[in-house]
């Protein structure tokens, strides 16, 4: 049994209370607006399942950011709006266009502005950390589970969203905080099985060598992105990659074979002059959804989150939403094809930015990877996350990765956990630097982003350097 803090118990109580208020609003038709990523998609699916099961009418739309044009489009629906996994950072902007009494925000990003009459639930206002304790889908789950009898799929989706937002920051890459309460509910009801194993992508579905080459949470030099090298590596360890005419997956490995692979990877990293401990990133807590069929992307929490993320990043959030809500036909097949295309785009963008001379620029406080023209803007965030995960454990600089889209520059910022634990705030860095150049930014302390005019790139980087130095100075004085 997990010992909940007063803040966690209080937040769960607030979620239950908000669910009651939603029921009493008697809105006959609702617009669900959700952030176009995996966590936002999972949050929206949870809400849509609840509304569907209670007989309420609704429609849903995904958005990448909030600006005046987006808000005016939302206003044109003339419906009450529920924002999921987005909205807290734009309270003043939302109130300037929409009727606050017809707006609900369930989010985990840092609030900015005055909520006025907006009905909002946000963990950051209740002594919790929205970057690690609970995701947007987790907030949605704690509210909407109170409206239905069967919330098994909702439970899965809350875990999927937390994993997608990289909230597996507990011991052995586990979910902690309120996320662990959600996991425990799933375990107690038989929806979720928690194990410890390799966390390579495609544990359920991909051949061993393809899974290793497709690693998306870390980089294994020489193996990541090269299936032939990965295949030969496995053979050199004496691990059979086929059983009869069928490629084996990670789930087919025996404990002895897993031990062989772990030892082999540690030696491989050591031979490259890298710390053998870096292999620890490849091992962690696995969340298996027992009601889902074996051998499908839906059974493993991280693989499910990758599927939803692929759909959102490639511009097909509607397909991801349908799959999250239970679609298992043609749209599910389309989602899997989109996921394959997405991995190809990520691999190409990552290869470009790591190999092209001049893309990497390092200063005293910041490591910049300038992906202008070489990184597909749709996959900027995962590229930044992969680069961040591959940095040395003692790395203490701010990672900035960019990609361009017409006259706009998109920015992803990652802050080492060691700095976050000492008080560095990447979300504040992103929002402050972006606003100085006429852009918009925000996010969490460890992971944030911004959208700025492309022509103001140099000014933006100067602002990042200055604000980062100010935050570093405060760290030294505390």
365 C-beta neighbours (distance < 10 Å), count = 16
Instruction: Report the C-alpha gap between 103 and 80 in whole angstroms.
Output: 6
Query: What's the pLDDT band for 194 if we cut at 50, 70, 90?
Result: very high
Instruction: Report the C-alpha gap between 88 and 106 in whole angstroms.
Output: 8
pLDDT at 445: 85
pLDDT at 442: 85
pLDDT at 244: 87
pLDDT at 477: 62
Among residues 379, 357, 386, 389, which one has the least CA distance to residue 370? 357
pLDDT at 343: 84
> Is the per-residue pLDDT at 473 higher than 90?
no
With contact defined as beta carbons under 8 Å apart, do 84 and 106 qualify?
A: yes
Of 94-108, 149-163, 274-288, 397-411, give the lowest mean pLDDT range.
274-288
Instruction: Report the C-alpha gap between 430 and 411 in whole angstroms.
Output: 9
The contacts of residue 426 (CB under 8 Å, 6+ apart) are: 398, 413, 414, 415, 420, 443, 444, 445, 446, 447, 448
Query: What's the pLDDT band for 276 if we cut at 50, 70, 90?
Result: low
Instruction: Report the C-alpha gap between 274 and 297 in whole angstroms.
Output: 32
pLDDT at 4: 79
Mean pLDDT of the chain: 92
Length of the chain: 478
In CATH, the number for domain 358-476 is 3.10.310.40
Q: Which fold has domain 6-191?
A: inorganic pyrophosphatase (n-terminal core) (3.90.1640)
pLDDT at 207: 93
- H-helix or E-strand containing 246? strand 246-247
pLDDT at 270: 85
pLDDT at 226: 83
Q: Where in the chain is the domain with CATH 3.10.310.40?
A: 358-476
Residue showing tokens 């995960």: 389
Instruction: Report the C-alpha gap between 118 and 106 in whole angstroms.
Output: 11
pLDDT at 2: 61
Q: Could you give the 3-state DSSP secondary structure of residue 294?
A: coil
Query: What's the pLDDT band for 369 if we cut at 50, 70, 90?
Result: very high
pLDDT digits (tens, 9 = 90+) for 47-102: 999 999 999 999 999 998 898 899 999 999 999 999 999 999 899 999 999 999 99
The sheet carrying 360-362 orders its strands as: 360-362, 366-370, 398-405, 408-414, 447-453, 440-443
pLDDT digits (tens, 9 = 90+) for 10-58: 999 999 999 999 999 888 899 999 999 999 999 999 999 999 999 999 9
pLDDT at 478: 58
With contact defined as beta carbons under 8 Å apart, do 386 and 309 qualify?
A: no
With contact defined as beta carbons under 8 Å apart, do 294 and 150 qualify?
A: no
Average confidence (pLDDT) over 364-388: 92
> Is the per-residue pLDDT at 153 higher than 70?
yes
Among residues 373, 352, 351, which one has the least CA distance to residue 457? 373
Helix axes 301-313 and 38-53, enclosed angle (nearest 10): 100
> Is the per-residue pLDDT at 318 higher than 80?
yes
Q: Where in the chain is the domain with CATH 3.90.1640.30?
A: 6-191
Query: What's the pLDDT band for 279 if we cut at 50, 70, 90?
Result: confident
> Is the per-residue pLDDT at 222 higher than 90?
no
> Is the per-residue pLDDT at 280 higher than 80?
no
The phi, psi pair for 152, rounded to 5°, reads -65, -50
Of 163-172, 271-280, 341-350, give the lowest mean pLDDT range.
271-280
The contacts of residue 165 (CB under 8 Å, 6+ apart) are: 38, 39, 135, 136, 447
Long-range contact pairs involving 244-248 (C-beta distance under 8 Å, separation at least 24) = 247/207, 247/208, 247/210, 248/207, 248/208
pTM, to two decimals: 0.85
pLDDT at 393: 75
105 vs 386, residue with greater confidence: 105
């Amino acid at each position: 049994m997990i010992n909940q803090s007063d803040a966690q118990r209080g937040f769960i109580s607030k979620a239950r209370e908000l669910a009651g208020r939603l029921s009493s609003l008697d809105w006959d038709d609702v617009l669900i607006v959700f952030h176009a990523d995996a966590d936002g998609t999972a949050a929206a699916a949870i809400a849509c399942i609840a509304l569907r099961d209670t007989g309420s009418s609704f429609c849903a739309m995904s958005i990448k950011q909030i600006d005046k044009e987006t808000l005016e489009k939302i206003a044109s629906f003339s419906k009450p709006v529920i924002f999921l996994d987005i909205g807290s950072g734009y309270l003043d902007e939302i109130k300037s266009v929409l009727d606050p009494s017809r707006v609900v925000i369930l989010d985990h990003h840092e609030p900015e502005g005055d909520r006025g009459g907006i009905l909002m639930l946000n963990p950051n206002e209740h002594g919790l950390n929205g970057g690690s304790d609970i995701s947007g889908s987790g907030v949605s789950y704690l509210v909407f589970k109170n409206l239905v009898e069967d919330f098994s799929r909702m439970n899965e989706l809350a875990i999927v969203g937390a994993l997608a937002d990289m909230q597996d920051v507990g011991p052995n890459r586990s979910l902690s905080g309120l996320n662990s309460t959600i996991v425990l509910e799933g375990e107690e009801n038989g929806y979720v099985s928690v194990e410890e194993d390799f966390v390579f992508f495609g544990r359920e579905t991909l051949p061993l060598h393809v899974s290793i080459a497709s690693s998306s949470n870390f980089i294994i030099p020489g193996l990541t992105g090269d299936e032939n090298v990965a295949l030969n590596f496995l053979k050199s360890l004496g691990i059979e990659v086929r059983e009869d005419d069928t490629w084996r997956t990670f789930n087919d490995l025996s404990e002895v074979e897993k031990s062989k692979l772990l030892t082999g990877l540690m030696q491989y990293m050591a031979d490259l002059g890298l710390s053998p401990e870096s292999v620890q990133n490849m091992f962690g807590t696995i969340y298996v959804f027992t009601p889902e069929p074996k051998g499908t992307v839906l059974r493993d929490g991280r693989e499910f989150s990758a599927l939803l993320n692929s759909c959102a990043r490639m511009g097909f959030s509607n397909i991801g939403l349908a799959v999250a809500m239970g679609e298992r036909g043609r749209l599910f097949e389309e989602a899997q094809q989109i996921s394959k295309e997405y991995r190809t785009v990520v691999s190409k963008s990552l290869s470009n930015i790591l190999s092209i001379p001049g893309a990497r620029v390092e200063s005293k406080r910041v490591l910049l990877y300038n992906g202008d023209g070489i990184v597909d803007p749709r996959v900027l965030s995962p590229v930044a996350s992969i680069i961040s995960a591959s940095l040395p454990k003692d790395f203490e600089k701010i990672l900035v990765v960019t990609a361009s889209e017409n006259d706009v520059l998109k920015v992803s910022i990652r802050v080492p956990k060691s700095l976050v634990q000492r008080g560095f705030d990447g979300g504040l860095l992103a929002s402050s630097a972006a606003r100085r150049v006429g852009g918009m930014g925000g996010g969490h302390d460890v992971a944030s982003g911004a959208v700025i005019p492309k022509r103001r790139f140099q000014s933006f980087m100067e602002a990042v350097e200055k604000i980062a130095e100010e935050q570093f100075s405060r760290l030294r004085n505390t």
